A = this chain, B = another copy of it.
Amino acid sequence: MLSEFSLIDRYFARRARTNTRRAVLGIGDDCALIAPAAGEMLAVSTDMLVEGRHFFPDIDPHALGHKALAVNLSDLAAMGAQPLGFTLAFALPKPAEDWLAAFSAGLFELADRYDCELIGGDTTAGPLNLCLTVFGSVRQDVALRRDAARAGDDIWVSGTPGDARASLGLLRGEWQVNGQTNEQDAAHFRRALEYPEPRVALGLALRGVARAALDVSDGLAGDLLHILERSNLAATIDVDSLPISPALARLPRDVQLQCALAGGDDYELCFTAAPGQRAAVEAAAQHAGVRVTRIGTMSALTSPQTAPAIAWRDAAGTMLNLTLQGFDHFHAD
């Protein structure tokens, strides 16, 4: 029977100690030492995941390991930053070997795919809580900020937002699996919820092409509003142009829109670019192997007193009155 120390050491600390390419010191000293590439800045983001709020108590620990890092890499993607490393702090009620084995496998499979090294951490007993801080490297002048959008920019989104929220709705019984939404669709939704793919390659390819960007974690509508507020602009979205997955398209239209616009947990990129960059955006998406869709346009505020807001219309240009309910965990950002 391994002690708690040995268990954690087996799955995390030894691995971190052997990571010496980028981090001069990893777990085992008081601090890790890292540096961004020459002439670049270090991009830093931190996310905390709590049981019952960010994941169900019965989540597969492999999926949890994946998702905990994925949501952090997604923040790097949204800045156009190249992943370098991460720290992992977690509280566990009691370390179980099979849980740690599966969790670390999910975590490191994703970390290895993006060449992102574990450089330090902390573990303690306590109610299950995961806190990751991720580090990337980006040149300051090409970082994809939220305040860089301009009037006339196209608004783009990657992938097919809404699928993770569709899974949550099925799991919560908000809507039912029916003749149209079969088990295959449910599995597709579940995968979107548990194994979101951070759009790192797309973020890197969009440097110098896109203007503003963020990752969609709390729902496309609410997150786009962050760009509007920071850039002091309004937006018009063509609801009929929203990319809806075939699975989501088999649910009722009002559920599709609720999921795609106010769902949360998508980890797709929403970004703006000048109309003259359309071919460059498509090329970046093709290079990254990710679908992107043009869904609307940024515009100037009609007066300095106008609050940034989103106007919704359909393909025929008719204005729509949508009532959206946001994702319900509370966030500082």
Residue from the set A32, A44, A76 with the largest chain B CB neighbour count within 10 Å: A44
Q: 10 closest Cβ contacts across the A-B interface?
A: A50-B126, A131-B131, A30-B78, A31-B43, A48-B89, A33-B41, A127-B127, A133-B133, A46-B87, A30-B75
Q: Contact check, A122 vs B29: say whether CB atoms are below 8 A apart.
A: no
How many A residues, CB 8 Å from partner? 73
- Which of A174-182, A296-304, A325-333 contacts the other chain? A325-333
> Is A293 in the interface zone, CB < 8 Å from B?
no
Nearest CB of B to A151, in Å: 20
Q: Contact check, A122 vs B28: say whether CB atoms are below 8 A apart.
A: no
Listed in ascending order, the chain A residues whose CB lies under 8 Å from chain B are 4-5, 8-9, 12-13, 24-25, 27-36, 40-54, 75-76, 78-79, 81, 87-91, 119-127, 129, 131, 133, 135-136, 138, 140, 143, 145-147, 213-215, 226, 230, 329-333
Q: In the complex, what residue of chain B is closest to A9 when comparing beta carbons?
A: B332
Q: Contact check, B79 vs A31: say whether CB atoms are below 8 A apart.
A: yes
A29 contacts which chain B residues (CB < 8 A)? 79, 145-147, 214, 230, 333
Nearest CB of B to A81, in Å: 6
Whole-angstrom distance between the alpha carbons of A36 and B138 in the complex?
Answer: 14
Q: Contact check, A126 vs B53: say whether CB atoms are below 8 A apart.
A: yes
Q: Contact check, A146 vs B44: say whether CB atoms are below 8 A apart.
A: no
A226 contacts which chain B residues (CB < 8 A)? 28
A-B contact pairs, 25 of them (CB 8 A): A5-B331, A5-B332, A13-B333, A27-B332, A29-B145, A29-B146, A29-B214, A29-B333, A30-B215, A31-B136, A33-B43, A33-B44, A33-B143, A34-B41, A44-B133, A46-B87, A46-B122, A48-B91, A48-B123, A54-B124, A87-B133, A89-B131, A124-B331, A126-B127, A126-B129
Q: Contact check, A46 vs B89: say whether CB atoms are below 8 A apart.
A: yes
Copies of this chain? 2
A214 contacts which chain B residues (CB < 8 A)? 29-30
Nearest CB of B to A242, in Å: 22
Q: Contact check, B138 vs A33: say whether CB atoms are below 8 A apart.
A: yes
A330 contacts which chain B residues (CB < 8 A)? 4-5, 8, 123-125
* Interface residue from B9, B27, B50 paired with A125 (Cβ < 8 Å): B50
* Interface residue from B24, B36, B46 paired with A131 (Cβ < 8 Å): B46
Known: A33-B41, A54-B124. 16 other contacts (CB 8 A): A12-B332, A13-B333, A25-B145, A28-B226, A28-B230, A30-B45, A30-B76, A30-B79, A31-B45, A32-B44, A33-B42, A42-B42, A44-B133, A48-B91, A48-B131, A131-B131
Whole-angstrom distance between the alpha carbons of A91 and B48 in the complex?
Answer: 8
